Each structure stands twice: as C-alpha cells, then as structure tokens.
Amino acid sequence: MPGKLKAKIVAGRHLPVMDRASDLTDAFVEVKFGNTTFKTDVCHKSLNPQWNSEWFKFEVDDEDLQDEPLQITVLDHDTYSANDAIGKVYIDIDPLLCTEAASVISGWFPIYDTIHGIRGEINVLVKVELFNDLNRFRQSSCGVKFFCTTSIPRCYRAAMVHGFVEELVVNEDPEYQWIDRIRTPRASNEARQRLISLMSGELQRKIGLKVLEMGGNAVVGYLQCFDLEGESGLVVRAIGTACTLDKVSSGSAPNTNTHVHPNTAPASNACNSPSKDGKEPVFGEDLPSSSGPPTPFRALPTSSSSPPPFSPSKPCSRQSSSSDTDLSLTPKTVEPKPVRCRPGIFLCPSSPTLSTDTLSLPGSGSVGCGHGLSSAPRATTPPPPSSIHSDCALLRKSVSFTEDLLLAASGMGSGGSAGKEAGPLKTLLRQHTQTALEQRGASSSGLLLNAREFPFFTLTSFPPGFLVHVGGVVSARSVKLLDRIHNPALGNTRSYKLLDWNSVTADEPETRDAWWEEIRQEIKSHAKALGCHAVVGYSESTSICEEVCILSASGTAAILNPRYMREGCLDIGSTDHRFEDPSPPSCGFCHIPYDELNMPFPAQLTYCYHCRRQKVPDVLFTTIDLPSEAAVTGKGCLIQARLCRLKKKAQGEVNATAISNLLPFMEYELHTQLMNKLKLRNMNALFGLHIQISVGENMLLGLASATGVYLTALPAPGGIQIAGKTPGDLSNEHHILTIQKRINDTIAKNKELYQINPPELTEEGLGSPIPEPRQRSRLFRSHSESSDELSELDLSHGKKDAFVLEIDDTDAVEDIHSLLTDAPPPTGFYSCNTEIMPGIYNWTSGIQMFTSVRVFRLSNANLTNQGLNKIFTDLCENLLKSFYFKLRSMIPCCLCHLNFTVAVPEEELIQVAVTAVAMTFDKDQAQEKPAEKPINKGSSENEEQLQFPLELCADVSSANTQPSSKVSGVPESTNVSSRAASVDYGSFADRCSTWLELLRLKAHTIRRGSVKTISSLERCSPLPEGRSRSLRSSRSFGGSSVTVVKMTPLSFLPGIRIIKYLGIINMFFIRETTSLREEGGVSGFLHSFIAEVFAMVRAHVAALGGNAVVSYSMKECVLMENPNKNQAQCLINVSGDAVICVRETDQEPTASMTNIGQTCCSANDGAT
Amino acid sequence: MAVELDVFVGNTTIMDEEVYQLWLDGYTVNDAVKVRMEGGVLDECEASADVLLSDTMDQYRTFQMCERLLHSPAKLANQLLFQIPPHRQTVLIERYYAFDDAFVREVLGKKLSKGTKKDLDDISAKTGVTLKSCRRQFDNFKRVFKVVEELKGPLVENIRQHFLLSDKLARDYAAIVFFTNNRFETGKRKLQYLTFQDFAFCAGQLINNWTVGAVDNMVEDMDVDLDKEFLQELKELKILITDKDLLDQHKSLVCTALRGKTKAFNEMEANFKNLSRGLVNIAAKLTNTKDVRDFFIDLVEKFIEPCRSDRWTAADMKLYLTHYTNSAHILDTFKHQVVWDRYMGVIKSCIFKMYHD
C-alpha cells in the first residue's frame, strides 16, 4: 500500500566555509528517497541559509518506507566544478509509520560527513501520510512497535507474550567490493552507511511481519547486531520478543499489571500454519512436563520421539559435544549439552533422533554439528563441568569419569580434539540437519516456525508473576569458518530473505540461519536439561577475527507462568498444580525447577531460607535482572572475571580448532573466577551475567561481568579456604595462613561494605540438609557431570584432606592474588551491570550516561598467559577507577548497567569499551525497599556493628534477628545451624569416588587452591555515612534553545515518568580521517566521533519530539588505525528507544502536547 | 605496554572547573596533572596518577573541541555536539574570556596587530602569564574588537549580547575596545602605577559622556569614537585661562569656598592657575588624535603629579575639583556651562579614580 512521504528543508546554520575566497558557502540540498531526488534552490553566500523549501513529496510503497531512510545531502554549489558535498543526514522514518509514535519529525539535525564529522546543522520537517490504513500488512509491517528495552515498556501492559522472533539478512560489504578501489573513502563509507541503514530497515520490516503473523503488535527486547565479516560479507541480524502490548491509559502505571487473559489469544494462532502444530512443543507441550520439579522429565509427551535431555545418551553427547558450550555458569545449573541431538529432536520430531544420538556419541568426542554444516570445528564451551572434563583430559590424558556411565569414555579423551575425529557423526549430523532444515523450509509458513521452536525471551525483567522458577545460565558457543560462506552446505533457499540487488550471496542467509539454529537448539536442550521450558534474558553475539567467527548465545533457563503465553495457557493451566500454589514472590524464582531426585548436575540443595517450603540451590547464576520482588540482603556489586589466553597464529581450520580447544578452558576459568569472587564478597547469586569471548589473531579474551547479590532465600555462601599441598612445610604453611587471613579479612570487609547481614532464621525453618540425592538419581542423571564442579569443589574441600592445593605453584598464587586485587569501589560508589543496584531504592534524578573506550598496546611480544591476565585485569580495574574518579562529584552514586565490550582489533591490541550510567541516590533516606519485605530490613539498618567472624560456625540459625545475636555476643551460642553441621557440604562421603577423583584432578590441574566453606554469622553495619549530599541535579536547561535529551542504558529514568515511546533509534555511523595527528591522535579522533554520535542520537530524538533515550546501547565500536599513514577509521552502531518523559510529579501533558513533540519538550525541559 | 587510546565521553559533557582553569592558564597536561596532585584530589578519591592523567587528557580534549565554539559563544547555546547545562555554559564562556590584569595592562591601547602578537612572548616573560594564555587573551581582545567594531548600538550591550558575557566583563571588554580604538597611551612609566581597573573605569566615563553615543545612540561606532563636535567645543573652554579676569575670578571663587576646609589650602591657592591651565589645555588639545592618545599622561603630568607632590589627600582632591567645577558656573562671562560640565564630569571622576599611589 502506498504512502506519501513529505519533506521540507527549512534552514541551515553553522555551515562550514566552503569558499575560501569569500569565507562563505553557496549551499543547496538534495532530498532523496528511493530513487527520487529533489533539490532546493541554492542559497548564495550564507553560512546560515534559509531555504524554506516547498514540501517535497515522495509517493512510495510502505515497504520502502520501512526499508529506506530519507537521505538529505547538503552541497556547496560550484559554478565551474563539481559541487562539493558538505555532509548528509539520514532520517529513519519508521517512527512515523506507527500511529502511536511520533507524528512529525521536525528539528535540527547535525550534517554529518564521514571524513569531516559534523559540519553545521539543518532544519528539516518530515511527515508521512499512509493510505489505506487497514489491512495493509502484506509486504510491510508498519505499525509494529519496536523496543530495545528488555522489559515490558513502561506505560504499556503485556496482554500476551508470543515468543521469540529472529531474522537476518546478508549482503556484500561495500568496503570489499571491487568498486571500492576506485571510489573515494567518502563514497565508500556512505555506501556502507546507506546499505546498513537499508538492511536494518528491511530486517525490522521482516521481523515485523513475523510478529504480525504471530498476532502480536510489538517487539520488545529488540537486539540488532552487525557482523562485519570482511570479504565474506555483512550480516545484519536481530532477535526479539514478540508481544501484544496494550497502552496503559493512565500513562503512569508501570508495567506491573500484566495479567493476561488467556482467552485473548488470537484465534489466528491456531490456524497459522499447518506445520506449526507438529513442530512446536514449546510452550504447550513443554510446560506441563517441566513445570513441576517433581514431574519426571521422561514424561514429556511430546518429546517422546526425541530423547529427553536426561536420556542416557545425553551424557555422552554432552561430553562429546565438546562443541557445545554450555556454560552454565550457574553453579548448579549447568546444563549439559545434548548438542547433537537437537536438530533431530526439535525439527523433525518423527525422525529417529534417538538412534543417531546414541550412535554418534561414542564416536564423536568432538564436534559434530559444526563439521557437518560448515566444516568448521565447533568449539564447545562446555560448561564448567564439561570443561573440566576436557581440562582434565588434556592435562592428564586419562580421566575416569565413571560417574556417568556414558561419559566416560568418549568424553574425556576427545574433549580436546574437537575437530578431527568426528567421522561418522559428521555425516549423520549433516543429514540430520539438512532434513531438519528442509522440513523447516518446506513448511509453508516458515516464518512462524522459529517463534514456536524456540521458547526464548530476550527480556531481562518481567512483570510480577511471570517468572516462576529460574534454573540457571545456559549458553552455547560455536566456532565457524567464514570462508565457507559461499558454499553453503545447505541448498535451501528462502528467497524472501534475499536482497534483490544481491543475488550473488543469495544463499548466505541460509548458512547463517543454520548456524544460529544449531546454537539455539543447543540452548533449548540445555534449558530442558535444567527442567525448564523457556530461556529468558536470551542474547546472541559473535566475535570475528579474519575468517574465524565465534557465535555465542546465552540465556537463563526458566519456567514461566503460562498464563502470559500465547497458546500455552490454554492447554496447560489447569493441569499444572504449581501455578495454583504460587510460591511467595520474593523467593519463588529461586526454587529449583528441576526434579530434586533427577538433578541435572550435582548441586547442594537446601530448603528455601525464605519460605522453607521448597528447595533452592546454594548458588544461582542468571543473565536476567534481579526480579523486582526478590528479597535481597545488603547491596549488590559488580563482579568480573577476566581472562586472556594466548594462542598460536594459524589459518583456517587449524585456527578454528585451536580456538575450539581453548574455549572450554576459558569458560571454566571464568566460571571459577566468578565463583571465587562471589564467595569473596559473601554473596550467593549473580544476575545479568554476560560472558564475552573475543578472538584475536594471537589470543582469546574472556570477560564475564555480572552483579553479585546475596539472595535472602539462598543459603549463606561459605568462605574460601586455602590449603597447601604439603602440610609439613612450615614456611609454606605460614604463607598459606597469610593468604587465608587476607581472604578472610577481605570477606569480612566485603560483608560490611555491602551491608550483608543475612536475616536469621528460625530453627524449624532450617531443617536438616537435604540428603544427597545423588545416588538415587544416578540412573537418570545422564548429564550430571555438567554441573558445576566448581561448586562441588567449594563445598567439599573444606572437609577433605584429599584436596590439597599446591599453593606453592606460582600460578596458583597469582590466581589467588588476582582474586584479591579487585579493589572495592571508593566510598560513596556502587557499581553493577544490571539495571539497578540491588539494595538501593531511593534514586534521585541525577544521571550521567557515558561511553569510554580504551585500547591497550602490548609491547612485549613474549607475554605469558599470566602476564596477559594481569594486564587485562589492570586495564579493566583502571577503567573502573577512572570512572569513579571522574564521577566523584555525583557521590553518592551508583554506576549501573556497566556494559563492558572487549575486542582484539589487531595483534597486540586490546580494546575495552564501556557504556554505563551513573545515577545518584539519596543516602539519607532509608535504603530499604519501600514496600514489603520485612525480612531483610532490620539488619541493614542496624547501626550496631557486631562482627563475629566465625571460622566454622554455621549460618545463622536462631530465630530472631538482631536482638538475639547481639545479645549472644558469642557466636557459637547462637548458631550452629543445622546446615553447617551437615553442611559440609561434607556429605562428600556419599559421593562416589569418581567424583572425588575428578575433583582432585581439577584441583591439581586447575585450581590449586581449595575452597572451603565457612558459614558465618556476621553482622555488618551500614557503610559509614559519608558526606550526605543533597539531591543533586536538577539541571534545568530551560534557557537553551536545544532540547536537552537524556540518555541512559536503563529502561527508565529515576524520578521521571515515560509517557510515550516514539520509536526505536538505530543508527550506524562511519568516520574516517586522513589527518589523524591533526585531530589529536586516535584519542582525539574517537573522542570527537563519540561526541558526534551522541549529538546525532540526541538530535534525532529531539526531532521526534522526545527528550530522552532509554535502553541506549553502543553495540559496535570498531576502530582501525594506521598511525603511520595518519589514518583511522571507526564504525559505531548505537540503538535505543526515544521517549517523551516528564517529571514524576508533573501532570501528564495533554494530548495536544504530545502531538507536537516540540511543545512537549520545551515544557518539560525543566524536568529533565 | 601502553594505553594507546583512552577516551571518556559523557552525554552531559563533564568538565571540571579546576582543570578548565589550568587549561586556560596554558598548563600542559603534565603540568596540570602535577598541580592537581599537589592540590590533593587524589587523596580525596583514592585514585592514582594514571587516573588523573587520563582524566586531564579527556578534559583537555573536550576543551579543545569546545574552543571553536567559544569563539562565537552564541553558538555554544545552540550547537548540538556538546550537551552542556546553561549555567556551565556561562561559566565556560566567562572564564574563557576572562583575562589577567597584568596581561591586559601590557597591551591596553596597543594596536592588536600581528606585530603586537609577536611580542607576546616578551609580555609572557614579563607578566608570568603563559604564552598560551597570552595568545588566548590577545585573540579574545582582537575577536571582540573586530566583531564590535562594525556594530551599531551601545558598546557594552553589543559585547554582552555577542559574547554572552557578564555585565562586568562586558564593560571591561568595552574599555579594552575603546582604548584600542583610540590608542590611548598607557605604557609610559608614569602611568605604570595605574591598574587596568583604573583605566576601565575611566574608559567607562569617557564612553558614557564623551562619545557620539552619549548623545545619539544609533550611530555606528557611537561608543568607540569620541564626539568630534564636543571636542571642538572644548576649545571654547580656553577662555577660562586665556581671559585673565575670568581666571582670577575663578580662582577667588574657588579659594573662598575652600578656605579653612583643608590643610592643603595654601598649596591649592598657589597652584590654582597652573592646575587650571593644565586641565583646560588638555581639553583644548583633544581635537588632535595625538593628544587624545596622551590624555592619561597629560592628566597625570599636569594635574595629578603636582597635587601629589603637594601631598593632597584624596579628600582634598575631591573638594578642590568639586569647587573648581562648580565655581565656573558662577562666572558671568563664561557661557559654556554645558560643555564644561560634560568635560569636568569625566575629568573629575577620572582623576578621583587615578589619584592613588
């Protein structure tokens, strides 16, 4: 259906001088949309031209409206020679296509040139008239709203969550086309910018189509990424969560009430596609089975054809699957990865997956799938557990993993050699996948399939009641070779994915799709293994170096309340007893989703410390934000694990294999680091876990960031105990003691720092530790291994002499030292990588969003892993210190959503980019969460400081909180929790000896330090009250003629109410210079570029009538420099949601105001 | 190993006023870091020298990028590149255009030419203001001068509007522009004791009373050029000294009024004719551009120095000039009361201001 796009060029200002003779400019403007171009008159001799042009009208398809940007070029008229370009503005008109968003784009836009940066500004007016508003959704998907925000946007209500949507498009990178040799850098950059703009428009349109077909009207948690694959092309891919959103009329209501009426599910779902029914077990089928921990998995009705994760075959696969990474960081939660089988299972339910799996298992120790498809070895990053195995394997060659029957054999040995041995398996797999894909392709409405195949949600926070239980982190990685792209293994084409102008690469999307498909399947099966039917906080990423590409995906396995789902609710609701008896909101999500008797991995379970009715793990790792209703003790803090690994330079498959082999080790180490640091801070859960592994020519970088929290519902973490390998050695002993003391001191300090004083529980609540389920469950737990050995380690070490650490090994010492080097933030600062800091509730309105980039050159070519680690750690730590320093004027404040991105742009360069926001809070007000939760309250407020560092006593046992403990004075008297007693985590005894072995191995080879738990009863005092500063910040920019636009990576602004979402901002810029020195070197260059990007984002938001950007993120920052040639180039991709907001106390602007953004903005300036 | 690139960019531009001042003062990054360390920022925030260096570099880059905008401050308010709260903008501008009295004293009244610019290193050495800072200040003067030169309307107001400066600073700039335009001599040794503020005050007086703008406020250069007609009319005042009767009469009127009111009466009486001649001659000569330039020198030589050598107090001076001015009105044959008042009003306040050690 057609639409009419109208644009008017009003004026320019601050134009650059283009004519040296007169010091003036003769400017005119070309306005281009699609293939139509209009020009304004030339405005002679002015740096502030007033064109005041007529309305230029473009009559176009709405499909084009979605894909194409409006392109405005400002030129300097030259009578005798070619006109010189001053710069361009690309305007994405998507927001105008949605009735609820902006109605007009009007404002000053920076005129941007890829060589010179911003050169003046231009005032433009753009409107769209869409005809035929009804039923126009054929090729286009106008009207679907997109949100980067990973929660239900404020001022909307989720009527229905439909599920996962994904799409990708591929094209040749203009930078690598032959024509690039003869065109100017400017032309090439512009071609690239324009192409990416087109591709993201197209991508968004296609995703929109999928959403419409699913019956939704919005995509939440929209995550779009670029893969710059160099020669092999340019991939733009996106994932998101399709929803049906209702506007909340009051405008003020946050997203809280999201009750869904099951009945509202569009009828259309049912009839969407024939194929659907057969294929998607997702909600409907999985739910019932997985929902109740008690329900054995085997009962899965649908999955009958596919082996349940636990099936005996699984373990093997996991092992073999070296390729998968399941990193489950969740301590307990690791999911084994049943990689191999997935394609079979899900895609072709009827196919004999089982058999294949079993067959393949023994043979493969390695990577099957990867080979089949791309012939690149797939790296697996097994979860710590699996990684461990492989570690052991490598190091020791023989591991006896007897624990699981299956594992044993294949797993270990082959772990390392992913690539080579997968003979038979390979073929099998290939066939498998192919069929699977064919089927998929064949189904008439391929579009729908995805959504139903993958119960994934890109959301990281949910309306209350949505999240029922959380299993743990699931992740998968795979290493691919990009040079295969032109010979895709699969012949299928889904032509709708192709870009018309690009037939050459037509099959690429298929290849990429298949890759991601694999990974997603893996994730899905991991989730199943954890007894979960859904994955939340899901995200995907890549790291590319030359022709090697690591694809990663991760999320948090969870059980969701089916009432919010599309059809799931209808089938399941009644049968599931679990939902009828909801757990208390503040702890329910911690309860294990899996069957206690069939735990997917060894875990230490206890009764929930909050409700005491259900079991909880001792540690919980997740990728989501802390649920708002969760009960937390004290404050949270940022926890990072950092790791560098050198690798040999290599090409092609050799390189890919080397990388695959390294990945498991890295995952394991990162996990270990995280776990140790968590314990060091006396916390028991991680939220917002994000693990990034970046590949460079000669090294791999791993960075895991998360926010540590003490969940009240989980047991208190034990301490860390160091032990020496040779107890007899006195000096050594002494050394160990010193270290041990430092560790204990640090823990004590941290408790105080983060105000962790867990509430004490009544005795009855504690009950006795849950007997080790292991033995009983043995048969079923095929994957068992996967779980964290780490946690096992921690738990058991204390008691067992068997675990002796070679502390004298320098590496081990270094590891421990590095543990202790993380400096806590200075007084008055907190930091986290989640949306908000757990434990801080009284935000004031001061915010400062920032982006910081550092590149470090390693001058010494002979670095060791250890040396590199130190450098990398220092780099990150120094960055943080630098933030604290710069933002010191905002104290007390918290750095939220610290998002670190690491890259290895060149050999010997490490790049770290951080985007975060500093928010002030009021230290004087009570730090308590306003409402409920009496439980944690008391302790944090208690001024008394009682510190009883106890070596061996248990957590808190006694009933009442402070008073009792205070009185008692002597720790012993109060405590002795039942837990401690048995704790021990020592139930080691019943563990099978193999485990012991395994653990020992691990200890030897990897950790060398053992960890012992110490439960403690400590009371922390609130931080010393530092200076109390009054609310800072009302920055009123009232007088300025430029609308103030606030930016934040969070989904909200403190003290400010979002009243309207204006559309998504998704911008891609390239900047290049051939006068690097003159621009202040590479720092000067990047500094001004980032400032320019901010400026352009703000200008676009302001032109839409908005005054803030939420969920802002910098997805890409690729910097290439060549100082010798005085050149540099940088690409930045940013995204976010443009919004209009008002101060919470203000009245909602009237309808008329919102219509015309400008008015609204100016009215609200004060508020911002 | 080295940090190859290190940037930090805030959505709201972060600026530390202390660092800004160091930048304005022309400190190099390393020197600025040193100064900051001595200032104790580090202890306050548990930071290391690296952190300080990185922060200083960031801020210096920001300032450098802002500098272009500061050259036409009006742009700062509607540029899009930096989001700076208005009060910050004001501070940025005000500080950027602030100058060192020691420096301005050196260039006051000089032609703002390339030649003068070349001598800045000498001035820098003499005043202790860094060369960088001297250049900035010099360029500021020149920039303001160029912009204002061709504008109609009141000088101070023009400066304030074009450069968004505070009233005080705008007046100082008006003085600088005025001095530069008229090339008043301020560098002679005898004038060294005068501060910039003394001159600025005098300039204000001259601008308000003796320029074209004082009578007609919509003329080009109205505040920059002295009122030619007025200067011509000043010649008429000569009668006060050339006509002996008038001179005597004037003297006796003044002496009568002063008698008994001051210790310096004798000296006043003795010097009356000299002093009166001095002042009136200055007035009569102002039609010559050359003599305009020497206006302040003349005031000092012809009036202030003699009085000072007679040890008049400031109060004496005030008393004397008041009566000297007023008595002229009583002279029957003296017809130029208006011109006299316009002249003496300024002279009186200038001398008051300039009469100190």
pLDDT of res. A924: 67
Greater confidence, A1092 or A757? A1092
What residues of B are in contact with residue A1045 (Cβ under 8 Å)? 11, 83
CB A77 within 8 A of CB A29: no
Greater confidence, A536 or A329? A536
What band does A139 get if pLDDT is binned at 50, 70 and 90?
Answer: low
With CA atoms as reference, the chain B residue closest to A852 would be B8
What band does A693 get if pLDDT is binned at 50, 70 and 90?
Answer: very high
Greater confidence, B45 or B39? B39
Which of B9, B45, B77 has its CB closest to that of A884?
B45
The pair of three-digit structure tokens given for residue A301, joined into one six-digit string:
């009705």
Greater confidence, B64 or A427? B64
Mean pLDDT to the nearest integer, A1103-1110:
92
Within 10 angstroms of residue A571's Cβ, the number of other Cβ atoms is 17
Which of B8, B10, B61 has its CB closest to that of A882?
B8
- Residue of A854, A884, A1032 best to disrupt the B interface, most CBs of B under 10 A: A854
What band does A591 get if pLDDT is binned at 50, 70 and 90?
Answer: confident
Mean pLDDT to the nearest integer, B30-37:
91
Contact B12 A1039 (CB under 8 A): no
pLDDT of res. A446: 33
Prediction pTM value: 0.76
CB A1148 within 8 A of CB A1142: yes
pLDDT of res. A176: 79
Mean pLDDT to the nearest integer, B163-191:
90
Contact B5 A14 (CB under 8 A): no
Which of A856, A1091, A1119 has its CB closest to that of B3?
A856
pLDDT of A1023 above 90: no
Q: Is residue B4 less than 8 Å (CB to CB) from chain A?
A: yes
The pair of three-digit structure tokens given for residue A745, joined into one six-digit string:
């001191």
Contact A108 B3 (CB under 8 A): no
Q: How far apart are CA A319 and CA A362, in angstroms?
A: 9
What band does B32 get if pLDDT is binned at 50, 70 and 90?
Answer: very high
| From A311-315, A1110-1114, B317-321, the region with the lowest mean pLDDT | A311-315
Residue window 74-103, chain B: list those with CB within 8 Å of chain A. 75, 77-83, 85-86, 89
Residue window 162-201, chain B: list those with CB within 8 Å of chain A. none
Write out pLDDT tens, residues B85-101. 889 999 999 999 999 99
pLDDT of A354 above 50: no
What band does B336 get if pLDDT is binned at 50, 70 and 90?
Answer: confident
Q: For residue A194, which of A63, A92, A106, A119 has the smallest C-alpha distance?
A: A92
Which of B7, B55, B78 has its CB closest to that of A1083?
B7
CA distances from B154 to A218, A914, B176 (A): 60, 51, 15
The DSSP string of A1082-1107 is: HHHHHHHHHHHHHHHHHHHHHHTT--
Write out pLDDT tens, residues B239-279. 888 888 888 888 888 888 888 877 778 888 888 888 888 88
pLDDT of A298 above 70: no
Mean pLDDT to the nearest integer, B37-64:
85
Q: For residue A241, which of A166, A163, A146, A168 has the smallest C-alpha distance?
A: A163
Write out pLDDT tens, residues A846-894. 889 999 999 998 876 667 888 888 888 888 988 998 999 888 888 888 9
* CA gyration radius, chain B: 25
How close A668 comes to chain B (CA, Å)?
A: 28
Please, what is the end-to-end C-alpha distance for chain A in angstroms?
Answer: 40
pLDDT of A762 above 60: no
pLDDT of res. A818: 67
CB B352 within 8 A of CB B319: no
Q: Is residue B40 less than 8 Å (CB to CB) from chain A?
A: no
Q: How far apart are CA A220 and CA A154, in angstroms?
A: 12
CA distances from A9 to A71, A1127, B81 (A): 12, 34, 21
Write out pLDDT tens, residues A255-295. 333 333 333 333 333 333 333 333 333 333 333 333 333 33
pLDDT of A695 above 60: yes
- Residue of B16, B81, B88 best to disrupt the A interface, most CBs of A under 10 A: B81
pLDDT of res. A1054: 87
pLDDT of res. A1041: 67
pLDDT of res. A863: 75
Q: Is residue B43 less than 8 Å (CB to CB) from chain A?
A: no
Contact A1042 B85 (CB under 8 A): no
pLDDT of A307 above 50: no
For chain A, give the percent of residues with pLDDT over 90: 20
Q: In the block, which residue shows the tokens 């906080």?
A: A537
Contact A883 B8 (CB under 8 A): yes
pLDDT of res. A1067: 92
What residues of B are in contact with residue A110 (Cβ under 8 Å)? 80-81
- Residue of B5, B48, B57 best to disrupt the A interface, most CBs of A under 10 A: B5
What band does B62 get if pLDDT is binned at 50, 70 and 90?
Answer: very high
Which of B5, B45, B79 has its CB closest to that of A1086?
B5
For chain B, give the percent of residues with pLDDT over 70: 96
Cβ-Cβ contacts under 8 Å between A and B: the total is: 148
pLDDT of res. B265: 83
Mean pLDDT to the nearest integer, A1075-1082:
89
State the Cα angle at A1084 between A1083 and A1089, rounded to 5°: 100
pLDDT of res. A760: 55
pLDDT of res. B212: 78
**Which are the contacts of A752, defined by CB distance < 8 A and separation ≥ 6?**
A945, A947, A1020, A1021, A1023
Which of A849, A1036, A1099 has its CB closest to that of B80?
A1099
Q: Is residue B55 less than 8 Å (CB to CB) from chain A?
A: yes
With CA atoms as reference, the chain B residue closest to A918 would be B10
pLDDT of res. A1070: 94
What band does A344 get if pLDDT is binned at 50, 70 and 90?
Answer: very low
How close B61 comes to chain A (CA, Å)?
A: 7
**Which are the contacts of A319, defined by CB distance < 8 A and separation ≥ 6?**
A361, A365, A386, A389, A406, A407, A410, A411, A412, A414, A415, A785
**Which are the contacts of A21, defined by CB distance < 8 A and separation ≥ 6?**
none
pLDDT of A126 above 80: yes
- Residue of B83, B87, B89, B164 best to disrupt the A interface, most CBs of A under 10 A: B83
What residues of B are in contact with residue A1098 (Cβ under 8 Å)? 11, 80, 83
Write out pLDDT tens, residues A733-752. 777 777 778 878 888 888 88
pLDDT of A663 above 80: yes
pLDDT of res. B259: 83
Write out pLDDT tens, residues A441-467. 333 333 333 345 788 889 888 887 788
What residues of A are in contact with residue B82 (Cβ under 8 Å)? 1091, 1095
Secondary structure (3-state) at A785: helix
Contact A909 B4 (CB under 8 A): yes
What band does A600 get if pLDDT is binned at 50, 70 and 90?
Answer: low
- Three-state SS string over chain B comes to CEEEEEEEEECECCCCHHHHHHHHCCCCHHHHHHHHHHHCHHHHHCCCHHHHHHHHHHHHHHHHHHHHHHCCHHHHHHCCCCECCHHHHHHHHHHHHCCCHHHHHHHCCCCCCHHHHHCHHHHHHHHCCCHHHHHHHHHHHHHHHHHHHCCECCHHHHHHHHHCCCHHHHHHHHHHHHHHHHCCCCCCHHHCCCCHHHHHHHHHHHHHHHEHHHCCCCCECCCCCECHHHHHHHHHHHHHHHCHHHHHHHHHHHHHHHCCCCCCHHHHHHHHHHHHHHHHHHHHHCCCHHHHHCHHHHHHHHHHHHHHHCCCCHHHHHHHHHHHHHHHHHCCCCCCHHHHHHHHHHHHHHHHHHCCC
Mean pLDDT to the nearest integer, B185-211:
88
What band does A732 get if pLDDT is binned at 50, 70 and 90?
Answer: low
Mean pLDDT to the nearest integer, A16-34:
89
The DSSP string of A899-913 is: EEEEE--STTEEEEE
Mean pLDDT to the nearest integer, A786-792:
34
Greater confidence, B184 or A628? B184
Write out pLDDT tens, residues A208-255. 888 888 888 899 999 999 888 887 788 899 999 998 888 876 544 443
Contact A1042 B79 (CB under 8 A): yes
Write out pLDDT tens, residues B94-129. 999 999 999 999 888 888 888 888 889 999 999 999
pLDDT of A585 above 60: yes
| From A392-396, A756-760, B346-350, the region with the lowest mean pLDDT | A392-396
Q: Which helix (H) or strand (E) holds A960?
A: none
With CA atoms as reference, the chain B residue closest to A868 would be B1
Contact A850 B14 (CB under 8 A): yes
Q: How far apart are CA A321 and CA A408, in angstroms?
A: 13
